[in-house]
Amino acid sequence: MTILVTGGAGFIGSHATVELLENGYKVVVVDNLSNSQKASIDRIKEMTGKDFAFHQVDLLDSQALDDIFSKYDFSAVMHFAGYKAVGQSVEMPLSYYHNNISGTLTLCEMMLKHNVQKLVFSSSATVYGLPERVPIEESFSLSATNPYGRTKLMIEEILRDLALSNPSIRIAILRYFNPIGAHPSGKLGEDPRGIPNNLIPYITQVAIGKQPELKIFGGDYETNDGTGVRDYIHVMDLVKGHIKALEYLEKHEGVETFNLGTGTGYSVLEIVNSFNDVTGKQIPYQITDRRPGDIGVCYANPEKAKKLLGWQAEKSLKEMCRDSWNWQVQNPDGFTQ
């Protein structure tokens, strides 16, 4: 079975490509490298000892995409490609709507044209907005607080409409909580451009001396220690959930939505302490104002994925921190040598 992986050079897509190859799937990757490097593709080939086709193509280029769909016989699509930075989406909303939504529309049009019926889509816990309570269930009301989140919400709606209009279409919408960690080999990981926005790459850059100290955004949330709580999930657990979703789509029509999280929340200070243990260093930090748009507490109820997909996260917080740190130490400048 050949799977089209869009965004397969990026953080999560590259780990998913490894997992697919190791589970016997054939893979074709499409990525325009707008937020990644070709080196990640080379690493995947080196790590797995398997070859696969990579096309540096933009999803908005419908002719190029059409050619790719004509060339291969895809069983399914895993769709990771998209812009993902919340702050940037506030500054450049049109670019986010255009890239994420038009890119997905073009992809879905090609799937219909070439009779490809199965799609696994990367959504986000951001679609729960300010959740009514925790743990968050898939049936909770949805909202968005920034253009990035709205692209995910709109794409989810588009996919639900598509499935309604065409009973042979099968879609798994996967709402990720906070993916962190890296491949245990240290050969693949998250490679943000410039100063990281997210907590873990920021901490590892502090630990390695690239940033002076961590700024903890808010110490007055209603949590045990006042800092924000999130459901961090190891990227290897996350991509295993994608394989289970593909298997699920073999047997089920229509559209189904799943939370991919661990069900456990950790505070920023708990994360810092875990990194102190793993690195043997004291991460310097300062508690500052809350970051606008942040919520206090967010963690999943992952029971639906456990019941219907037979999947649950297995890796501990310590493993997540160890693998993030291992990647950072082995690749201080990411994929840029």
Contacting residues toward ligand UDP, per CB under 6 A: 178, 197-199, 202, 214-217, 228, 230, 268, 291, 294
> How many helices, marked H, and strands, marked E, lie in the chain?
12, 14
Q: Which H or E run includes 270?
A: helix 268-279
Alpha helices (H) along 166-288: 199-207, 235-251, 268-279
| C-beta of residue 236 within 8 angstroms of C-beta of residue 164 | no
Taking the C-alpha atoms of residue 76 and residue 250, their distance in angstroms, rounded to an integer, is 10
Task: Identify whether 148 is a catalytic site residue.
Answer: yes
- Residue 170 bridge partners (DSSP): 118, 254
Is 175:244 a contact under the CB 8 Å cutoff?
Answer: no
Return the one option of ligand UDP, ligand NAD, none that residue 326 interacts with (CB less than 5 to 8 A, by type): none
Rule CB under 6 A: say whether 328 interacts with ligand NAD.
no
Among 74, 176, 248, 335, binds ligand NAD (CB under 6 A): 176
Under DSSP, the state recorded for 284 is P
Q: Do residues 169 and 228 touch, judged by C-beta distance below 8 A? A: no
* Binding partner selected for residue 10 from ligand UDP, ligand NAD, none, CB under the kind-specific 5 to 8 Å limit: ligand NAD
**Shortest Å distance, C-beta 198 to ligand UDP:** 3
Per rule CB under 6 A, is residue 11 in the interface with ligand NAD? yes
Query: Which range touches ligand NAD (CB under 6 A), out of 46-54, 55-63, 131-139, 295-303?
Result: 55-63
Q: How far is the CB of 4 from ligand NAD (least distance, A)?
A: 12
If the CB atoms of residues 197 and 253 are measured against ligand NAD, the closer one turns out to be 197
Q: Which of 127, 125, 154, 178 shows the shortest CA–CA distance to 321?
A: 178
Q: What is the contact surface with ligand NAD in residues (CB under 6 A)?
A: 7, 9-13, 31-36, 58-60, 80-84, 99, 103, 122, 124, 176, 179
Q: Which residues are catalytic?
A: 148
